[in-house]
Amino acid sequence: MYKAEVRGPLILGNKDYHQITSDIIAPIDNKTPGWWKAAMGVSSIMAVIGIFSMVYTVRYGLGVWGVNNSVAWGWEIINFVWWIGIGHAGTAFSIFLLILRQKWRTSINRAAEAMTVFAVGCAAVFPAIHMGRVWLAFFIFPYPNTRGPLWVNFNSPLFWDFIAISAYLLISASFWYFGMVPDFASIRDRAKTKLKKGIYGFLSFGWTGSTKEWLRYEGLSYVLGGIAAVLVVSVHSIVSTDFASSVVPGWHTTLFPPYFVVGAIFSGFAMVMTLMIIIRKYYHLEDYVTDSHLNAIAKILVFISLIMGTAYTTEVFIAWYSGNPYEMFTFFHNRITGDYTFMFWAMIICNAIIPQVMWSKKVRSNITALFIISLIINVGMWYERFNIVITSLSKDYLPSAWTTYSPTLIEVGIFIGTIGLFTAGVLSFFRFLPMIAISEVKSVLKPTEITEKH
Amino acid sequence: MNTTHLIGVFDSKSELLSGIEGVKNKNFTIDEIYTPYPVMEAIDALGRKSRFSTAAFIYGAAAVVGVLSFLYWTSVIDWPINYGGKPTNAFPSFIIITLVLTILTVTILSLFTFSVRARIYPGKKPFLPDERATDDKFIILFDKNTAGAGFEAISSALKASGASEVYEKEF
């Protein structure tokens, strides 16, 4: 029979099961490293800047932002879409690759899910403060109220978005937590101190690893995997309808849902690559997150980059082909040329051109190059959202309403704050939770590797 | 009341499987098997079956009906709003909310079902015959009252099929 080695071994270094447990739990058992404390310090300062900016916004109103009547959605919506995009990696990695039976996901899915939860949390901050009166944010919940009872508008994409994001956050968080239960039990049973045993014992829900538990665990993970796979496509499609269902030039297009979904997976995978390289380097987990894993992510990225390039070209083509003067103006005079030229070309270069260097095997095996490219992609994806949100709003049908937009320090501060909250969350995850799914990694350890040892 | 249990410890999945086969051939009844990761063959050997997908389907069907009825009630019966003469029963725009809330309902109810059926809940004290089962050992447990033979016979069968350790414990 034809047999080809498509991918190298998933775990290197001839590990046995005990070694796997020890290696992955080591960061929880060991003393907190100095770099971690420094990174946490910087993240906390950033988070404080963000919280100050949010409080300032709530205290003085949206006038402290650079938004105006024409460009009513500024950095806040750019950042919202950007964070949601990054938060797509969790479902894409753990659920899509789970139902596609891709075993190389086992070393990466836990970190991707953690990242999802923190990224979606950061994203949720923006629409909430954008409402202006954040203390009335609960009006968006459809519950029998004393205001009529006036129901929310179920036909509005903005409401769909609220439902989609809240559901996504809840579902990703439960999927993440439930995946960690068996690993919490491993930590509990190895814990030396009473406190640690108590905490991880509580978190492990009394897990023992009996067949009765594993049977339901497998059942649950396939049911959740099957049903939540829809979320990979639905969440960002719904975000795109916030734009596509309007009549603003540059937004009113049926290309938007797939374009947004693919873009989201693109930035999510890039962020996963960034994180996995950090985990590998600083926690010496090279045997689990192997070159072969990074190679696989790089191949996916280069493929998605081609789709992104096609989407950008299609948008421009359709603007010309439709013969619609407003679409033509938006794309040719307000994106390719015009006030926001830099953002347009930054998007093209970062997302569609630079990732193409990953066709070369040499680049795919150069960790520094991959790290830099993964960061460039996320910068590029931010510029993509800038292009979509700002250019279309700044110059639409009425020239007397044309304006430009630049953010104020407060808006920049909120963005910095969410980056700080995100990194603080990820760092806590590195320190206190199992970064790699221990039981899943054990299940992909080749039987030959074990028998050789005996 | 405490019962005596016999515990067979195996070092790998393949040895565990030959151990299961060894004791099953002699018609000994296994009480439970503990593994560090899911071993489908062990689950099958104990004849355990799960109706999880059926339960999830029922939750999903109920959620679809529930959400659509709620949307119909709010938009058509309780507080109809005239959006430029468009129909109040705007079914196409209900689809997305129905889809997302169905997924959410199935997820939450499935988690509860998991908790109930696998008896896993916050603060539960683990009942684990050998703590190494969550690390690197595969454990087969026999109950003296239900094993179907004396412990000595089972013990020698386990050892013959590759158990690295066999011992008795009372709990």
Q: Is A426 within 8 Å of A88 (Cβ atoms)? A: no
Q: In this model, does residue A401 exceed pLDDT 70?
A: yes
CATH topology of domain A17-451: Formate dehydrogenase/DMSO reductase fold (1.20.1630)
Residues from chain B contacting residue A163 (CB–CB below 8 Å): 96-97, 100-101
Interface of A with B in 131-170 (CB under 8 A): 142, 148-151, 153-155, 159-160, 163-164, 167, 170
Rounded mean pLDDT, A370-386: 94
Q: Which of B39, B103, B131 sits opposite A167 (nearest CB)?
A: B103
**Exposed, middle or buried: residue B167 (CB in 10 Å: 0-12, 13-18, 19+)?**
exposed
Q: Which of A148, A228, A238 sits opposite B103 (nearest CB)?
A: A228
Inter-chain CB proximity B52 and A151 less than 8 Å: no
Quick: pLDDT tens for A331-346.
Answer: 999 999 988 999 999 9
Lowest mean pLDDT among A53-57, A242-246, B141-145: B141-145
Inter-chain CB proximity A209 and B133 less than 8 Å: yes
Tokens standing for residue A213: 């538990």
Assign A38 a pLDDT band (cuts: 50, 70, 90): very high
Quick: pLDDT tens for A345-366.
Answer: 999 999 999 999 999 999 999 9
Assign A104 a pLDDT band (cuts: 50, 70, 90): confident
Quick: pLDDT tens for A177-217.
Answer: 988 999 999 998 888 888 988 899 899 898 988 888 899 89
Q: Residue B33: beta bridge partners?
A: B140
Residues from chain A contacting residue B85 (CB–CB below 8 Å): none
Domains within chain B, CATH numbers bracketed: 4-49+129-170 (3.30.70), 52-117 (no CATH)
Q: Does A223 touch chain B (CB under 8 A)?
A: yes
**Exposed, middle or buried: residue A384 (CB in 10 Å: 0-12, 13-18, 19+)?**
buried
Give B4 or A451, the one with higher predicted confidence. Answer: B4
How far, in Å, CA of A397 to CA of A274, rounded?
41
Q: In this model, does residue A446 exceed pLDDT 70?
A: no
Q: Which of A17, A148, A215 sits opposite B36 (nearest CB)?
A: A17
Sign, Cα dihedral of A114, A120, A123, A128: negative
Tokens standing for residue A324: 């619609």
Helix (H, G, I), strand (E, B) or coil at B145: coil
Q: Does A189 touch chain B (CB under 8 A)?
A: yes
Inter-chain CB proximity A211 and B48 less than 8 Å: yes
Inter-chain CB proximity A443 and B37 less than 8 Å: yes
Measure CA of the first residue to CA of the last residue in chain B; give whole Å: 8
CA-nearest residue to B42 within chain A is A211
Helix (H, G, I), strand (E, B) or coil at B25: helix
Quick: pLDDT tens for A118-127.
Answer: 999 999 999 9
Residues from chain A contacting residue B131 (CB–CB below 8 Å): 189
Amino acid at A209: G
How far is the alpha carbon of B146 from chain A, nearest alpha carbon, in Å?
Answer: 18
Helix (H, G, I), strand (E, B) or coil at B82: coil
pLDDT of residue B1: 61
Residues from chain A contacting residue B78 (CB–CB below 8 Å): 149, 151
Instruction: State yes or no: cis peptide before A149, omega within 30 of 0.
Output: yes
Nearest of A268, A279, A262 to residue A93 by alpha carbon? A268
- How many interface pairs between A and B have CB atoms less than 8 angstroms apart? 198
Is the ipTM beyond the 0.85 threshold? yes
Q: Which of A163, A189, A439 sits opposite B131 (nearest CB)?
A: A189
Cα A19 to chain centroid, rounded: 31
Helix (H, G, I), strand (E, B) or coil at B32: strand
Share of chain A above pLDDT 90, in %: 48
Q: Rounded to two decimals, what is the model's pTM?
A: 0.90
pLDDT of residue A22: 83
Assign A14 a pLDDT band (cuts: 50, 70, 90): confident
pLDDT of residue A449: 46
Residues from chain A contacting residue B63 (CB–CB below 8 Å): none
Inter-chain CB proximity A208 and B114 less than 8 Å: no
Inter-chain CB proximity A223 and B110 less than 8 Å: yes
Domain ranges of chain A: 17-451
How far is the alpha carbon of A24 from chain B, nearest alpha carbon, in Å?
Answer: 12
Residues from chain B contacting residue A150 (CB–CB below 8 Å): 79
How far, in Å, CA of B42 to CA of B34, rounded?
9
Share of chain B above pLDDT 70, in %: 99
Q: Does A227 touch chain B (CB under 8 A)?
A: yes
How far, in Å, CA of B93 to CA of B96, rounded?
6
Q: What is the mean pLDDT of each run of 10 residues along chain B (171 residues)?
A: 81 85 81 87 83 91 95 88 83 90 93 88 84 85 77 80 80 77
Amino acid at A445: L
